[in-house]
Structure 1
Amino acid sequence: MHAFCDRSPGFNCQFPYVTYAPQGHGNRAVDPVIVAGAGPIGLTLALALARQDVPVVLFDETTGGDEPRLARTVVLRPDTAALLERLGCRATAGARPWTGWRTLRRRQLVRHVPLVPGPLFGAPPPAATEDGDGREGAPRDGVARDGSPRDGATRDGSPRGGEPEAPVSSPLHLPQHELTRALRATLAAIGDEDLVRIIPGTRVETVEQDARGVSVRTRGAQATWWRGSHLVGCDGPRSTVRKQLGVRFPGRTAVERHAVAALRADLPWPGEAVLHRSPPWRSIDAEVTARPLPHGVWRIDWLLPPGRDLVTPDALMVRVRDTLAGWCEETAIPYELLDTGVHTVHHRLARRWRVGRAFLAGDAAHLHGALGTQGLEEGLRDVGNLAWKLSLAWHHGASDALLDSYQAERRTAVAARLRTADQALPLVRAAGGWRAVRRTVLPGGTRGHDALLTDGHLGHGPLGAPPAYGRSPLAPAAPPEGSVTVGTPTGGPVADVRVTAPDGAVVRLWERLGRELLVVLVAPGTGVWDRRHWMRAGLMPRLAAAVSALPMRTELLVAEEYPGAPAHTVLLVRPDGHLAAALSGVRPAELYACADAARGGDTARGAEEHRDAEATARR
Structure 2
Amino acid sequence: MNGTAEVVVAGAGPTGLALACGLAAAGTRVRVLDRAAGPATTSRANILHARGAEVLARLDALADLRERAVAPVGIRMHVKGRHLTTMTFAPDERETVQALFVSQAVVEQRLRARLGALGVEVEWGHGVEHLGQDADGVTVRTAGGGAVRASWLAGCDGAHSRVRELAGIDFPGTPVVERFLLADVHADDIADREHSAGWYHRDGILMAMPMPDASGNLWRLMANVPDDGRTLTADEIVRALAGMLPVRAGITGARVRDAVWTSVFRIHRRLAADYRAGRVLLAGDAAHIHSPFGGQGMNTGIGDAENLAWKLALVVRGDAGGELLDTYTAERRPAAAEVLRRTTTSTRALVAEGAVARLLRDHVVVRILNLPAAQRQATRTASQLGLTYRRGPLGGRGRSPRPGDRVRDRAVLLAGGVPGSLTGALGPDWVLLSGDAGAPERFHDVLRDALPGAVATATDSAHDGDEVLLVRPDGHLLWRGTDPARLARRLATAGIRPGPPRPSSTPPGTDRATARPPRS
CA 1:412/1:65 → structure 2, altered by over 3 Å: closer, same or farther?
closer
Q: Distance in 1 between matches of 2:66 and 2:433?
A: 29
Q: Deviations over 1:404-445 (max 9, x none)?
A: 1111111111012213334555455244448768999xxxx8
- Cα drift, residue 448 of structure 1: 3.7
5+ unaligned residues in a row in structure 2: which ranges?
A: 502-520
Q: Distance in 1 between matches of 2:413 and 2:356?
A: 53
Residue 399 of structure 2 corresponds to residue 504 of structure 1: no
The one-letter code sitting in structure 1 at the alignment partner of 2:77 is L
Alignment correspondent of 1:302? 222
Choose 97-106 or 343-352, whichever is displaced more.
Answer: 97-106
Q: TM-score, normalised by structure 1?
A: 0.68
Q: Distance in 1 between matches of 2:282 and 2:379?
A: 24
CA 1:555/1:343 → structure 2, altered by over 3 Å: closer, same or farther?
farther
Q: Distance in 2 between matches of 1:35 and 1:498?
A: 34
Alignment correspondent of 1:3? none
- Cα drift, residue 233 of structure 1: 0.9
Greater C-alpha Rg: 1
The one-letter code sitting in structure 1 at the alignment partner of 2:88 is V
CA 1:417/1:600 → structure 2, altered by over 3 Å: closer, same or farther?
same
Residue 241 of structure 2 corresponds to residue 316 of structure 1: yes
Alignment correspondent of 2:123? 199
CA 1:423/1:197 → structure 2, altered by over 3 Å: closer, same or farther?
closer
Residue 11 of structure 2 corresponds to residue 37 of structure 1: yes
Q: Distance in 2 between matches of 1:361 and 1:318?
A: 39
Q: TM-score, normalised by structure 2?
A: 0.80
- Cα drift, residue 601 of structure 1: 4.2
Q: Distance in 2 between matches of 1:309 and 1:341?
A: 17
CA 1:297/1:309 → structure 2, altered by over 3 Å: closer, same or farther?
farther
Equivalent position to 2:103, from 163, 175, 182: 175
Q: Distance in 1 between matches of 2:376 and 2:327?
A: 26
Alignment correspondent of 2:515? none
Alignment correspondent of 2:168? 246
Residue 286 of structure 2 corresponds to residue 286 of structure 1: no
Alignment correspondent of 2:53? 81
5+ unaligned residues in a row in structure 1: which ranges?
A: 1-13, 18-30, 122-168, 524-538, 610-619
Alignment correspondent of 2:461? 560
SS of residue in 2 equivalent to 1:226:
strand
1:201-600 map, 5 Å:
201-220=125-144, 223-253=145-175, 255=177, 257-262=179-184, 263=186, 265=188, 269-270=192-193, 272-278=194-200, 285-295=204-214, 296-308=216-228, 312=236, 313-320=238-245, 326=251, 331-332=252-253, 337-344=258-265, 345-423=267-345, 425-428=347-350, 429-430=352-353, 431-433=355-357, 448=368, 459-461=379-381, 467-475=387-395, 479=397, 483=398, 485-486=399-400, 488-521=401-434, 523=435, 539-550=436-447, 551-552=450-451, 553-561=454-462, 566-583=464-481, 586-597=482-493, 599-600=494-495
- Cα drift, residue 51 of structure 1: 1.3
Q: Distance in 2 between matches of 1:417 and 1:51?
A: 29
CA 1:275/1:267 → structure 2, altered by over 3 Å: closer, same or farther?
closer
Q: Deviations over 1:451-491 (max 9, x none)?
A: 89x97996533795553112221235xx4xxx4x23x4542
SS of residue in 1 equivalent to 2:46:
strand
Percent identity between the two aligned chains: 29
The one-letter code sitting in structure 2 at the alignment partner of 1:493 is R
SS of residue in 2 equivalent to 1:172:
coil
CA 1:395/1:118 → structure 2, altered by over 3 Å: closer, same or farther?
farther
SS of residue in 1 equivalent to 2:116:
helix
CA 1:199/1:464 → structure 2, altered by over 3 Å: closer, same or farther?
closer
The one-letter code sitting in structure 1 at the alignment partner of 2:115 is L
CA 1:114/1:455 → structure 2, altered by over 3 Å: closer, same or farther?
closer
* Higher RCO structure, 1 or 2 (CA under 8 Å, sep 6+): 2
SS of residue in 1 equivalent to 2:106:
helix
Alignment correspondent of 1:95? 68
SS of residue in 1 equivalent to 2:298:
helix
Q: Distance in 1 between matches of 2:383 and 2:69?
A: 23
CA 1:374/1:455 → structure 2, altered by over 3 Å: closer, same or farther?
farther
Number of aligned residues:
481
